[in-house]
Amino acid sequence: MSSHLLLVINPGSTSTKLSHFVDTEERFAETLAHSTEELAAFSSITAQAPFRRAAIDDFLTRHRIDPETLSAVVARGGLLRPLEGGVYAVDDAMVRDLTSGVYGHHASNLGGVLARSIADAARCPAFIADPVVVDELEDVARFSGLPALPRKSIFHALNQKSAAREACRRAGLAYESCSLIVAHMGGGVSVGAHRNGRVVDVNNALDGEGPFSPERAGSVPAGQLLTLALSGTHEEAQLRRMLTGAGGLVAYCGTNDLREVLARADAGDETAALAFRAMCRQIAKEIASHGATLRGAVDAIVLTGGMAYNDALVEEIRASVSFLAPITVIPGEREMVSLAAAGLGALQGEREVRRYE
């Protein structure tokens, strides 16, 4: 069987991550940094596409990668309409929505656009996989308590799905027939209940649900937030920043670095120690709540994301939730390898290729 060569593209706000895979082996990887001055020359995120395409072409040239040898180009998915999880071909309708920003503007929108551009020239398919807008919620999970404010599915779908599949592989189980609780723990924390290959309930980690994290406030007392919002002391942008970016450990300890928080705690800083324990408790409570979602039938709890590298955090959470199910730790964001695995699965016929149109 011949090898498959894949280019993986993951655009961020100030960088473009690139990897070249031969099947599951990563041969070359770079993070191309883009300065504020460089990006300031463009009127919009969409307008950055030719600039970033040139940087990708340079990457291919420097590593002597002939685009025509690529089997597929796989990119991080952007802000699209709500989708079921899976691998999607980048078609004209997807490029249109990513370019127009009809569902929101974000650097990740460039992923599909760039992948399609390179793939067209190389005469190979372009894919995205499990974008943040994956929506597989059960109808009962959409109720918030106010009809005007339905719960939305926005979470770390790519890594949650990838970590879940890997945990099942290690256990000799099929993801599509398991019940799992997956906690992605990074700058934001999302905890999902996975049943038979679908994320039937999950907190909106971007927009004020779930545990607080290194940078996000999570769920906060609604009445007190309303009073603060109407007090006239803060502009809307300031309030949004307090909830996302300056909340969580940043608000309590002035840093989003978990290692620094733990070092302070070890040195006797009681605020740091309590903030760490509180964050762990909130994550554990969110995990435990999905024991009810899955009605006690939990095959495994999966801890993933950057904070899963931290033994102290993992052990604190393990002590609280290990009664529910065995715990598997799969640390890291795993974005590039997850995208490559999705693309390879599509090429080998192991993953269905869905259409966006």
The secondary structure of 77-117, three-state, reads CCCCCCECCCEEECCHHHHHHHHHCCCCCCCCHHHHHHHHH
**Which pTM does this prediction carry?**
0.89
pLDDT at 2 over 90: no
What pLDDT, on a 0 to 100 scale, did the predictor assign at position 245?
87
Q: What is the pLDDT of residue 18?
A: 97
Region 221-235: mean pLDDT is 95
Give whole-number Cα distances, 240 to 188, 225, 275, in Å: 15, 11, 21
Q: Please name each of the domains of the chain with its CATH number.
A: 5-133+336-354 (3.30.420.40), 160-325 (3.30.420.40)
Mean confidence (pLDDT) of the chain: 95
pLDDT at 208: 87
- pLDDT over threshold 80, residue 1: no
Higher pLDDT among residues 36 and 32, named by residue: 32
Kindly report, residue by residue over 78-104, the tens digit of the pLDDT: 999 999 999 999 999 999 999 999 999
**pLDDT for residue 286:** 98
What is the rounded average pLDDT of the residues 207-213? 93
Residue 178: closest CA among 299, 342, 60, 260:
299
Stronger pLDDT, 78 or 279, i.e. the higher one? 279
Q: Pick from 322, 309, 248: which is nearest to 282 by CA?
A: 248
In this predicted model, what pLDDT tens digit does every residue of 102-121 receive, in sequence order? 999 888 999 999 999 999 99
Q: Is the pLDDT of residue 333 over 90?
A: no
Burial letters 259-293, b for 16+ CB under 10 A, else e: eebbebbeeebeebbebbeebbebbbebbbebbeb
| Bridge partners of residue 22, in order along the sequence | 5, 25
| Choice among 77-81, 291-295, 327-331 with the minimum mean pLDDT | 77-81
DSSP state of 223: H
Distance between CA atoms of residues 282 and 151, nearest Å: 19
- How buried is residue 92: exposed, middle or buried, by Cβ count under 10 Å (0-12/13-18/19+)? exposed
What percentage of residues in the chain have a pLDDT greater than 70? 100
Q: What is the pLDDT of residues 118-143, one digit of tens each?
A: 999 999 999 999 998 999 999 999 99
Whether 261 shows a pLDDT value over 80: the answer reads yes
